[in-house]
Amino acid sequence: MLKKKSTIGIIPVRLNSKRFPHKALAEIFSLPMIAHVYKRAALCKDLDDLIIATPDEELKNYAENILEANVVMTPPEHNNPIESSAFALQYYQKKINTQFDITVIISGDEPMITNDMIANAISPLYIDENVLVSCLMCEIKTEEEFHDPNEIKVVVDINNNALYFSREAIPSPFKGKKGIPPLKKVNVMPFDSKFLLNLVQLPPATLEVIEEIYLLRVLEYGYTVKMILIENTVYSVDTPQDLEKVKKAMKNDHLLKRYLSDMN
């Protein structure tokens, strides 16, 4: 039997998003997006604790007073979700005098996540002690998504380890995709907690800066990201248009009834 690892979920979220300011408080079925992310993550029994990391007082007040969530205020200069999550982890561990083996970074703009998706993302860190980072991915269904720079694409090796992440259309459509479905990153990223705290001490890597994709720091320093393919079609929210797409996609979502009635 696999030994239980203490696991915390951290939701990094901020209001000054470049492409869609205040999107965390944009409403989906009468609830702010951050409420959907938090409530859905809270359904995952693999998480022993769950906190929100934010530099914004408005989000802090909403999370504490309405969601009754634990919140860590992060420095405003930490726009990188991995760095803000590492800060929150270190602060929270000291505050409650507990060490977590695994830290699951759950992006605040992923309102379609499910508890099963989070559990699937965590599983490689249980199965293989050499796995220090994992991340979800799903198939890209449209050409529009494939060429959208807001969607982070990933190519993987035969073992589903990430070879590269890019905002460009990869693999190249130049000769056709030859039966290889294009894949995109879904922002549920479990880390070995000690590795995460060490990673953020390393200087930002060149490709990470060029692509503005923070997981590239892991690859550029010679580490591996284990990718887990999910069947769900999920959309993150980067623009107001994405928000409308998510609203349509979530109309018949089976998890909504598990928390909507408690919140309204």
Domains with residue ranges and CATH for the chain: 7-252 (3.90.550.10)
Residue 176 is predicted with a pLDDT of 59
Checking if the pLDDT of 245 tops 70, the result is yes
**What average pLDDT is seen over the chain?**
93
- Enumerate the β-bridge partners of residue 184: 138, 153
d(CA 47, CA 64): 19
**In this predicted model, what pLDDT tens digit does every residue of 191-239 receive, in sequence order?**
999 999 999 999 999 999 999 999 999 999 999 999 999 998 899 999 9
The contacts of residue 209 (CB under 8 Å, 6+ apart) are none
- Enumerate the β-bridge partners of residue 154: 165, 183
Residue 112 is predicted with a pLDDT of 96
Confidence of residue 17 (pLDDT cuts 50, 70, 90): confident
Closest listed residue to residue 105, CA positions, set 200, 210, 177 = 200
Predicted TM-score (pTM) of this structure: 0.95
Residue 85 is predicted with a pLDDT of 98
d(CA 36, CA 243): 13
Among the residue ranges 128-132, 170-174, 189-193, the one predicted with the least confidence is 170-174
The three-point CA angle 71-192-133 to 5° equals: 105
Residue 140 is predicted with a pLDDT of 94
